[in-house]
Structure 1
Amino acid sequence: MAELYHECGVAAVAALSTEDGPSVSQAPLVAEHTARLIPRMLLDMQNRGQLAAGMTSYNPHRDALLETYKQLGTVAEAFRLNHRPKFEAIMRGMDGSAAIGHVRYATCGGSERSLAQPFERAHGRKSKWFALAFNGQLTNFKELKQELLAQGDYHLKRDTDTEILMHSISYELQDEGPEIDWQGVFSRLAQRFDGAYNVVLISATGQLVVARDPLGIRPLCVAREGSLFAAASESVPLSNLGFTRIESLAPGHLAVVDGHSVRVSRFAEAPKRAHCFFEWIYFANVASTLDDCSVYLSRARLGKELARLEDVPRDAETIVVPVPDTAKAAADAMAYELNLPSVEGLMRNRYLGRTFIEGTADREAKIRLKYTPLPEVLSGKRVLLVEDSIVRSTTMRALVHEIRRRGGAREIHLRVACPPIIAPCFYGIDMSTREELIAPRYADLPDGGLSEEAQNRLARELGADSLRYLPVDAIARSVGLSSNQLCLACVTGSYPTPAGQRLYEIGMEGSTCHANGSGGIRAYE
């Protein structure tokens, strides 16, 4: 989907002093070169953010014990991966035995280089000099900002929750001695924070800290084999390094790595889980496994759910076509269940940079740049077009038009492997006002959903012959977790945290004002 942007991805790696043998199945690294794994890990998470990339490394033999490098652009652009001498020059300055990294899409703040992560907080004492990277969104950002500014002589350079997180950690460190009690620090933070927050932090003592919020809203995977520890927002970067024993860090837990040991402990009670279901149906790499649930199998089961509901007449001229790329697993499974061909009727230009697309104002022109319908496949066909989600609808409307006009499809039946998105996300996904969403305009059921008649009306607006969403209860069946372990807020309007629910209610009030001509407000603001 071009309408729904990913949040961020974090990575961490550290060499351990151990006699257990090689780090992973590959040849062991020289400890000082461990930090060089970060760009490779970030490249495996490029799907989670293309705005900026960066890293911070620790090297006790440098004057700058912590060194931070970050640039706007993709991982390849930021680290100059296509220019070997320049990449090597960057890495020589970043060599170290431990490092953290980040790929960014902005859910809070703008697109300036200064907002790229990691954020580094310099200090004269090594234990209080640290850098951090953050995945998620603090829903009580405004209250935390006010609290911080009221505590004394604080000044905020950036209007972003990452800076609030950095200063909040600094505040908690002020009474700590040289041996930081990271469990205590994050325990105190958990009492104040509301929202999603996965943190990777590295200090000038060489300690690495990896923490996951008590609800586990965003995924966070960890692995240790031999002399190497690593963590990432998804399992793929770890499996591609050669790790064979990869686990999800339990919600409310942190791992502290100090060069020779890894200590995992609980910093906050986790009475419930609220894993974001969108990670499985859209965000994560299809090869990832998150919280013991396969992304690929989850998407395939979504396709089976679509097949179970299908009632469009099927003949030799009926085909299933996925919208590349995240809908392919669902489309293939749906087609298999219906005994129909799943064909690539849309070709996606995978070498088109985002900057080039964003320089084009016209929506249909963007679609023509990004997707090419194949008339040889589509012409005269009844097309079951499978998409992973519909958020704002502008992309889908233009895509349906192009499939009919350029592709020559006879009928287009849109099938969405997700329930209607009726509420915004305040936990790290870029859909922050209800007015931006298409489904609430057609919602006619008590729970905010769309009846068959409402779905038909929306289909007509999109230019499709029919439209079907999946029901909410299909999500838990497909992911393989019970509904009370998932965050379903964007499809139910029921949020797992108090501040999230409050922001939604503020947004609903803003919608009313907007309808009355008074102008809506962005709930996050």
Structure 2
Amino acid sequence: MSDLRHECGIAAIYHLPSAEPSRLCPQQGPEAISRLMPRMLLDIQNRGQLSAGMTSYSPTRSQIIDTYRELGSVAEVFRLSHRGKAEALMQQYEGRAAIGHVRYATCGEEDRSYAQPFERHHLQKRKWFSFGFNGQLANYAELRQALLADDDHHLARTTDTEIMMHEISREMSGELRPSLVEIMHNVSQKFDGAYSVALVNALGEMMVARDPLGIKPVSYAIEGPLFAAASESVALLNLGFEPANIHSLEPGTMVTIVDNEIKIERFADSPRRAHCFFEWIYFANVASNIDDRSVYLSRKTLGEELAKLETIPIDEDTIVVPVPDTSKGAADAMAYQLGVPSVEGLIRNRYSGRTFIEGGAGRKDKAAAKYTPLREVLEGKRILLVEDSIVRSTTMRVLIDKIREVGHAREIHVRVACPPIIAPCFYGIDMSTISELFAPEFMTPGREPEAAYTDMARELGADSLRYLPLESIARAVNRPQSDLCQACITGEYPTDAGQKLYDIAVTNDASGTNIRAYESAEAQV
């Protein structure tokens, strides 16, 4: 899974005026609560390693809201390995409120101008705001074309974050003063896709909002005068919030802080749910809870589901080996159910650096450098190799080769704690074309899965291959299938624009046109 990336993660924190500061407040006091933002971003670093940033609010500064963002990991951006430089940054950006962001690009370039939060200056305080965004707008092409149709408008970047910024700005224009709820209600009528948003303006108002389908997760906590929110609950737990005070934000709702009052309000109808199942399978920190379901327990259940399906003979030389790191929960549970050891036969090099999306040999070389097989553990063994998912298959091919050549394994049986991925994602996961996916070539309509798995195993160089069936996901997540977005494993999308992009992707694949559906959609608008 090293060749698959999420788009980003958001965080927010606010210390309201109070006679008694929160017990979680930094030593410098409530006016320096922004100092906690790098710590929060570290806990959601798994969601993006390309860039990081924060905007803080302090009414006593000339720059009432001020934004700092750079390319790099959280530790690199905030200079956490250099006490003096880190302290200087924290002093410069001290404030009673802050929003933060980590990013990995699924659209847009890898340069600093695409790093978030995005800040829009304005003479009027209510129109001077900064925001961060997690997700992807499936109707990006239509929104972009609509903005550019006006000759007075210009877009400097190829990213839906800028589209969102302009749409929010447009709602703020004029002499009327719409509330934050009204602004989100109006823009939500235009947006088709997945989004969670954190925003702060120069009036000291803040909002954190979640899309009406709940595709992207958001958790929040309130204790006394302190409010915090993040893409994952682990960031709040590690700040010291009591677990009972940490909640998932409901789809179509938002938390607002206006005039020093915290409210939870609905900005859009939410007739159905479409939570991204991949959050539990892979993306989220294993210590998080997503929509009241433990990520760890979900992965543990996936392993139990794999064990129920196992048919190979079990002997004293059979072992389970997880692909580090997120498949470990499933692998351990599978091994326990089968009564065989779960061992670390693959060691991940945690210091090999960030892995960016690279084509061809570049990605293969990155994968090869990341894992070292332990011959002492693998030699002569029948291995059940457990992985979260197979997307492009680059990593799996490399691992199987290395386990055979370096580890001298006797047999390698790949077990995937997810159904085959057959369709692109248009909601914020970096897999945009059908041709880049491994499974679609084999999973043709009407073909028996077992026959497809046999051919896939042969292509990978494995002795056998097995995926979980679709119904296993709902059992593991403990939610009905109707509450989940499973478009990448079914080809059925929860929004109209997503389904339209998939139809374009299918047409492109049939014609051998290997371009992103977004690009084709822009050409058609």
Partner residue in 1 for 2:336? 336
Name the CA shift for 1:176/1:257 in 2 (closer, same or farther; >3 Å): farther
Unmatched tracts of structure 1, length 5 or more: none
SS of 1:134 mapped into structure 2? strand
Deviations 1:285-342 (Å, cap 9, x if unpaired)? 0000010010000000000000000000010000000000000000000000000100
- Distance between the aligned counterparts of 1:122 and 1:99, measured in 2? 16
- Distance between the aligned counterparts of 1:182 and 1:363, measured in 2? 43
What is the identity, as a one-letter code, of the residue corresponding to 1:371?
A: Y
Name the CA shift for 1:359/1:494 in 2 (closer, same or farther; >3 Å): closer
Partner residue in 1 for 2:522? none
The answer as to 2:81 corresponding to 1:82 is yes
Q: 2:486 aligns with which of 472, 485, 488?
A: 488
Name the CA shift for 1:332/1:26 in 2 (closer, same or farther; >3 Å): farther
Superposition deviation, residue 154 in structure 1: 1.1
Partner residue in 2 for 1:471? 469
Deviations 1:219-260 (Å, cap 9, x if unpaired)? 000111012100000000000011111001110011111362
- Distance between the aligned counterparts of 2:188 and 2:461, measured in 1? 47
- Distance between the aligned counterparts of 2:23 and 2:274, measured in 1? 32
- CA RMSD between the two structures: 1.7
Partner residue in 2 for 1:45? 44
- State the TM-score, normalizing by the size of structure 1: 0.96
Deviations 1:433-474 (Å, cap 9, x if unpaired)? 01110100001344xx86101101100110100000000110
SS of 1:200 mapped into structure 2? strand
SS of 1:435 mapped into structure 2? coil
Q: Is the 8 A contact 1:439 1:450 kept in 2?
A: no
Superposition deviation, residue 7 in structure 1: 1.7
What is the identity, as a one-letter code, of the residue corresponding to 1:522?
A: R
Partner residue in 2 for 1:373? 373
Deviations 1:48-88 (Å, cap 9, x if unpaired)? 00000000011111101111000101000111000111111
Q: Is the 8 A contact 1:24 1:243 kept in 2?
A: no
Partner residue in 1 for 2:517? 523
What is the identity, as a one-letter code, of the residue corresponding to 1:87?
A: A
Q: Is the 8 A contact 2:14 2:33 kept in 1?
A: yes
Partner residue in 1 for 2:400? 400
Name the CA shift for 1:359/1:502 in 2 (closer, same or farther; >3 Å): closer
- Distance between the aligned counterparts of 1:438 and 1:450, measured in 2? 17
What is the identity, as a one-letter code, of the residue corresponding to 2:3?
A: E
What is the identity, as a one-letter code, of the residue corresponding to 1:286?
A: V
Superposition deviation, residue 148 in structure 1: 1.3
What is the identity, as a one-letter code, of the residue corresponding to 1:291?
A: D
SS of 1:524 mapped into structure 2? helix
- Distance between the aligned counterparts of 1:37 and 1:450, measured in 2? 53
Deviations 1:396-416 (Å, cap 9, x if unpaired)? 111100011101110000000
- Distance between the aligned counterparts of 1:146 and 1:444, measured in 2? 35
Deviations 1:91-130 (Å, cap 9, x if unpaired)? 1110001010000000110101000000000000000000
Partner residue in 2 for 1:498? 496
- Distance between the aligned counterparts of 2:423 and 2:50, measured in 1? 25
- Distance between the aligned counterparts of 1:134 and 1:356, measured in 2? 20
Equivalences for residues 110-121 of structure 1 within 5 A: 110-121=109-120
- Distance between the aligned counterparts of 1:520 and 1:365, measured in 2? 23
Deviations 1:378-407 (Å, cap 9, x if unpaired)? 000000000000000111111100011101
Partner residue in 2 for 1:304? 304
Partner residue in 2 for 1:129? 128
- Distance between the aligned counterparts of 2:285 and 2:354, measured in 1? 19
- Distance between the aligned counterparts of 2:493 and 2:6, measured in 1? 20
Q: Is the 8 A contact 2:26 2:35 kept in 1?
A: no
Superposition deviation, residue 152 in structure 1: 4.8
Partner residue in 2 for 1:191? 189
The answer as to 2:263 corresponding to 1:263 is yes
Deviations 1:263-304 (Å, cap 9, x if unpaired)? 111010000000000000000000000100100000000000
Q: Is the 8 A contact 2:364 2:394 kept in 1?
A: no
Partner residue in 1 for 2:166? 167
Q: Is the 8 A contact 2:3 2:357 kept in 1?
A: no
Partner residue in 2 for 1:203? 201
Q: Is the 8 A contact 2:26 2:33 kept in 1?
A: no
- Distance between the aligned counterparts of 1:117 and 1:151, measured in 2? 26
Superposition deviation, residue 522 in structure 1: 1.3
Partner residue in 1 for 2:320? 320
- Distance between the aligned counterparts of 1:362 and 1:248, measured in 2? 39
Partner residue in 1 for 2:523? none
Partner residue in 1 for 2:248? 248
Partner residue in 1 for 2:438? 438
Partner residue in 1 for 2:386? 386
Deviations 1:136-177 (Å, cap 9, x if unpaired)? 000000100111122451111111000000000000111354
What is the identity, as a one-letter code, of the residue corresponding to 1:68?
A: T
Name the CA shift for 1:365/1:191 in 2 (closer, same or farther; >3 Å): closer
Q: Is the 8 A contact 1:444 1:451 kept in 2?
A: no
Name the CA shift for 1:356/1:247 in 2 (closer, same or farther; >3 Å): closer
- Distance between the aligned counterparts of 1:195 and 1:357, measured in 2? 23
SS of 1:434 mapped into structure 2? coil
Partner residue in 2 for 1:36? 35
Q: Is the 8 A contact 2:7 2:47 kept in 1?
A: yes
Partner residue in 2 for 1:217? 215
- Distance between the aligned counterparts of 1:176 and 1:29, measured in 2? 39
Superposition deviation, residue 3 in structure 1: 1.5
Q: Which moved more, 1:407-416 or 1:254-263?
A: 254-263
Percent identity over the alignment is: 61
Superposition deviation, residue 180 in structure 1: 4.0
- Distance between the aligned counterparts of 2:30 and 2:82, measured in 1? 24
Name the CA shift for 1:253/1:29 in 2 (closer, same or farther; >3 Å): farther
Ranges of 4+ aligned residues in structure 1 off by more than 3 Å: 24-29, 355-365
Superposition deviation, residue 360 in structure 1: 10
Unmatched tracts of structure 2, length 5 or more: 520-525
What is the identity, as a one-letter code, of the residue corresponding to 2:433?
A: T
Name the CA shift for 1:105/1:362 in 2 (closer, same or farther; >3 Å): closer
Partner residue in 2 for 1:227? 225
- State the TM-score, normalizing by the size of structure 2: 0.96
- Distance between the aligned counterparts of 1:264 and 1:355, measured in 2? 38
- Distance between the aligned counterparts of 2:449 and 2:324, measured in 1? 27
Q: Is the 8 A contact 2:21 2:225 kept in 1?
A: yes
Partner residue in 2 for 1:143? 142
Name the CA shift for 1:15/1:420 in 2 (closer, same or farther; >3 Å): same
Partner residue in 2 for 1:411? 411
What is the identity, as a one-letter code, of the residue corresponding to 2:157?
A: R
SS of 1:313 mapped into structure 2? coil
- Distance between the aligned counterparts of 1:498 and 1:155, measured in 2? 27
Superposition deviation, residue 362 in structure 1: 5.0
What is the identity, as a one-letter code, of the residue corresponding to 1:72?
A: L
Name the CA shift for 1:210/1:152 in 2 (closer, same or farther; >3 Å): farther
Q: Which moved more, 1:258-267 or 1:482-491?
A: 258-267
What is the identity, as a one-letter code, of the residue corresponding to 1:46?
A: Q
